[in-house]
């Protein structure tokens, strides 16, 4: 079973060995609807093709001397009945396929979202949000379109070939000569058409994801773009990506324009007309049979011409399924360990010779084509561990070429050999090296050090955002890897320098970790975080909606809401990562008093350079380049630690 930090009970076991099998496993959940669609398609085409036979009977009737009006009337009524049957069976077919298409889109989106919730922080920190959103919206909907109208029309087309040819054989076996030759040529030309179309369809999905990711990144960082006057650069980058998408669609149009099955059908229809006339003049066929034969051959026009549309939808759907499956199958380092240790945390935290580094990641990409070959390497999911979306991957994929081909994307054949590439992290050195210390229950531990010394990384090993490469991190004497992840994290709260707020009400943001909290408890936590006064100053008070990421609030207000959220969850271990950096001194003093009060009953880790907060810590850890170089109280470290003195410029 794959590692997951979150999983639902009774998840449906989809096959994830490949995009086609994955799609079929989704379809297998609703077996009655495909069967209903197949039956309706067969009856629909029987009705349509039988109409051609009855038209032939009508021609024979009119050609016979002394024909009766009553007989012609019954033939007309039969044709009308068949037309009504065709209409109703068409509706039934469309309903069955549309129903299963909507269900599969829903299930695929749910499966992808649950998978994303179960991925580790390491995975999410390496993703481009825009590309993930493209997979969760556009790619998932493309699977819907693959079924309806794509596969629905392919199913109908298949029956529109089988039924007319079967009826032609019933008319006269000799008439099967031209349709048989047509089927052979049709199969070959459609195979050749799909062979040319497939790499373009895959490239369209990949390039659309890249364009969407770039757009989302630019919009998210619009303040940085404007402050650095980079609007023109971002515009050129986006229009360049858009031109590449357009180029792929133009390439798709060129392939569709050279659609040989249409030419093959024209030849077959002409050949069938000639064959039918020859047999009629030879007396082997009646005139009505010849007319019925031509009508049945004409029914083959629909599957021939609809293929230009349907197979493209299927190719796009399979490409989208591959992109979704690549995300779902990407392995995560951590597992929720539902059967692991679960208990109320007392607060003892022990680091035993802990080392940790952000390891290099491996991608599997197409072999780089030779210069001037006009082919673009497209990322492929690794058969083992896939890592996608690392910053700079566009450069690896060659999205920005130089010279006159700068905006021309290049097509990659799907059978290119795959090559492993390793992308190194900015620093290949360990972030933490042999760190050992013990935090006793209820103790406040301050962590100080220069930028990049590993302070935040150290605290993220406690709640298993990351796992140590070497050594052990123990909470209450139990290795964190043996804890149930839900039990561990539910009792640890982290307040960061730039807290995240959801686009919801202030009440919902404060109660995010405690959805059952009463209004009284919410206001109590807000008051302790010095947030109550500014909240009630809003017209809607606690029902005030904040924008995405809390953009309608100031930095200090966001931090106070995050602190209130942490107070409300009543964690046994509290991690404060420069959590009051955007708050004025007077408000900070009030919050510190509240923190001191609540920290007496819990273990607190404090990352800050403010002496006013460090002074009340029971112990201070001094980090330098990932190593724990000293620990002690403020006075002890001032007396003996040069590193501590240099941080605060307090050396005597």
**Residue 473 class from Cβ within 10 Å (0-12 exposed, 13-18 middle, 19+ buried)?**
buried
pLDDT grade for 461, boundaries at 50, 70 and 90: very high
**For residue range 413-447, what is the model confidence (pLDDT) as tens digits?**
333 333 333 334 444 578 999 999 999 998 999 99
Domain final residue pick, 275, 297, 329: 329
- The single residue listed with the structure tokens 């790619």 is 139
pLDDT number for residue 598:
64
Q: Tell me whether residue 27 is in a domain.
A: yes
Q: Tell me whether residue 640 is in a domain.
A: yes
Give the closest residue to 151 by CA, choosing from 262, 322, 27: 27
**For residue range 486-528, what is the model confidence (pLDDT) as tens digits?**
899 989 988 887 788 888 899 999 999 888 899 999 999 999 8
Task: Note whether 367 and 305 are same-domain residues.
Answer: no
Q: Tell me whether residue 132 is in a domain.
A: yes
DSSP conformational letter for 482? G
Q: Is the pLDDT of residue 383 over 50?
A: no
Task: Note whether 535 and 453 are same-domain residues.
Answer: yes
Average pLDDT over residues 460-481: 93
Domain interval for residue 77:
19-329
pLDDT grade for 599, boundaries at 50, 70 and 90: low
What 3-state DSSP class applies to 529? Answer: coil
pLDDT number for residue 649:
65
Structure tokens at 404: 């006159």
Domain count, the chain: 3
pLDDT grade for 638, boundaries at 50, 70 and 90: confident
**For residue range 401-412, what is the model confidence (pLDDT) as tens digits?**
333 333 333 444
pLDDT number for residue 22:
96
Residues in the chain: 652
Task: Note whether 510 and 559 are same-domain residues.
Answer: yes
Task: Note whether 283 and 369 are same-domain residues.
Answer: no
Task: Note whether 72 and 217 are same-domain residues.
Answer: yes
Q: Tell me whether residue 7 is in a domain.
A: no
Q: Tell me whether residue 339 is in a domain.
A: no
Please report, for the domain that includes residue 253, its CATH number.
1.20.1560.10
Q: Is the pLDDT of residue 376 over 50?
A: no
Task: Note whether 188 and 75 are same-domain residues.
Answer: yes
Q: Is the pLDDT of residue 373 over 60?
A: no
Average pLDDT over residues 584-596: 68
Neighbours of 552 (CB within 10 A): 15
DSSP conformational letter for 405? G
Q: How far, rounded to the nearest angstrom, does the alpha carbon of residue 165 sit from its chain's CA centroid?
A: 43
Task: Note whether 396 and 522 are same-domain residues.
Answer: no
pLDDT grade for 55, boundaries at 50, 70 and 90: very high
Average pLDDT over residues 10-16: 90
More confident residue, 398 or 311: 311
Task: Note whether 415 and 439 are same-domain residues.
Answer: no
Domain final residue pick, 370, 389, 423: 423
Task: Note whether 277 and 353 are same-domain residues.
Answer: no
pLDDT number for residue 362:
37
Q: Is the pLDDT of residue 167 over 70?
A: yes
Of 317-331, 360-374, 545-559, highest mean pLDDT: 317-331
Q: Tell me whether residue 8 is in a domain.
A: no
The enclosing H or E element of 20 equals helix 19-27
pLDDT number for residue 617:
87
Average pLDDT over residues 461-475: 92
Q: Tell me whether residue 404 is in a domain.
A: yes
Please report, for the domain that includes residue 456, its CATH number.
3.40.50.300
pLDDT number for residue 587:
67
Task: Note whether 556 and 587 are same-domain residues.
Answer: yes
pLDDT number for residue 367:
33
d(CA 570, CA 597): 12
Q: Tell me whether residue 428 is in a domain.
A: no
Domain final residue pick, 368, 391, 423: 423
Is residue 369 left, alpha or beta, with left meaning phi > 0 and alpha meaning psi from -120 to 50? Answer: beta
Q: Across the chain, what does the average pLDDT equal?
A: 83
User: What is the per-residue burial (b if ≥16 Cβ within 10 Å, else e) of 440-452?
Assistant: eebbbbbbbbeee
Task: Note whether 393 and 279 are same-domain residues.
Answer: no
DSSP string of 595-616, one letter each residue: HHHHHTTSEEEEE---HHHHTT
Task: Note whether 228 and 131 are same-domain residues.
Answer: yes
Structure tokens at 637: 């470290």
Average pLDDT over residues 116-133: 82
Share of the chain above pLDDT 90, in %: 48
More confident residue, 358 or 298: 298
Tell me which of 58-62, 152-156, 255-259 is least confident: 255-259
């Amino acid at each position: 079973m794959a590692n997951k930090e979150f999983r639902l009970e009774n998840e449906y076991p989809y096959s994830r060995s490949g995009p086609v099998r994955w799609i079929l496993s989704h379809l297998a959940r609703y077996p009655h609807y495909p069967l209903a669609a197949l039956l309706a398609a067969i009856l629909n085409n029987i009705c349509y093709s039988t109409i051609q036979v009855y038209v032939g009977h009508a021609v024979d009737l009119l050609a016979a001397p002394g024909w009766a009006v009553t007989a012609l009337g019954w033939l007309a009524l039969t044709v009308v009945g068949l037309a009504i049957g065709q209409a109703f069976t068409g509706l039934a077919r469309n309903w069955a396929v549309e129903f299963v298409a909507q269900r599969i889109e829903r299930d695929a989106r749910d499966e992808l979202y649950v998978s994303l919730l179960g991925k580790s922080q390491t995975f999410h920190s390496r993703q481009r949000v825009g590309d993930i959103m493209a997979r969760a919206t556009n790619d998932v909907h493309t699977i819907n379109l693959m079924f309806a109208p794509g596969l629905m029309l392919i199913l109908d087309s298949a029956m529109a070939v089988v039924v007319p040819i079967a009826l032609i054989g019933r008319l006269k076996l000799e008439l099967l000569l031209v349709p048989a030759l047509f089927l052979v040529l049709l199969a070959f030309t459609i195979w050749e058409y799909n062979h040319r179309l497939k790499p373009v369809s895959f490239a369209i999905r990949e390039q659309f994801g890249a364009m969407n990711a770039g757009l989302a990144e630019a919009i998210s960082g619009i303040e940085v773009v404007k402050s650095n006057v980079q609007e023109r650069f971002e515009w050129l980058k986006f229009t360049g990506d858009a031109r590449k998408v357009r180029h792929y669609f133009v390439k798709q149009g060129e392939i569709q324009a050279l659609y040989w099955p249409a030419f093959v059908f024209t030849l077959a229809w002409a050949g069938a007309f000639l064959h039918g006339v020859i047999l009629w003049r030879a007396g082997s066929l009646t005139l009505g049979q010849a007319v019925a034969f031509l009508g049945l051959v004409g029914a083959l026009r629909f599957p021939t011409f609809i293929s230009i549309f349907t197979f493209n939808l299927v190719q796009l759907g399979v490409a989208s399924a591959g992109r979704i499956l690549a995300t779902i199958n990407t392995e995560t380092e951590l597992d929720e360990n539902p059967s692991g240790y679960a208990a109320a945390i007392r607060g003892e935290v022990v680091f035993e010779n802990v080392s940790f580094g952000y390891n290099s990641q491996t991608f599997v990409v197409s072999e780089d084509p030779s210069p001037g070959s006009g082919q673009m390497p497209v990322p492929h999911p690794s058969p083992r561990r896939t890592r996608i979306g690392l910053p700079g991957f566009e450069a690896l994929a060659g999205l920005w070429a130089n010279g006159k081909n700068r905006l021309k994307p290049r097509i990659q054949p799907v059978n290119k050999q795959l090559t492993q590439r390793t992308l190194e992290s900015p620093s290949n050195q360990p972030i933490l090296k042999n760190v050992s210390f013990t935090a006793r229950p209820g103790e406040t531990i301050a962590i100080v050090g220069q930028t990049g010394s590993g302070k935040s990384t150290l605290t993220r090993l406690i709640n298993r955002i990351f796992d140590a490469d070497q050594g052990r991190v123990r909470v209450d004497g139990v290795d964190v890897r043996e804890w149930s992840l839900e039990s561990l994290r539910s009792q640890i709260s982290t307040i960061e320098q730039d807290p995240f707020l959801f686009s919801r009400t202030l009440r919902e943001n404060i109660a995010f970790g405690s959805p059952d909290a009463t209004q009284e408890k919410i206001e109590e936590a807000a008051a302790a975080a010095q947030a109550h006064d500014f909240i009630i100053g809003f017209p809607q008070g606690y029902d005030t909606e904040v924008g995405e990421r809390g953009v309608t609030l100031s930095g200090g207000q966001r931090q106070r809401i995050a602190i209130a959220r942490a107070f409300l969850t009543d964690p046994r271990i509290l991690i404060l990562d420069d959590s009051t950096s955007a708050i004025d001194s007077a408000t900070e003093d009030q919050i510190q008093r509240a923190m001191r009060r609540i920290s007496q009953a819990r273990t607190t880790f404090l990352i800050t350079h403010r002496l006013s907060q460090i002074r009340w810590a029971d112990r201070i850890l001094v980090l330098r380049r990932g190593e724990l170089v000293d620990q002690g109280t403020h006075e002890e470290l001032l007396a003996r630690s040069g590193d501590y003195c240099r941080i605060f410029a307090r050396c005597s």
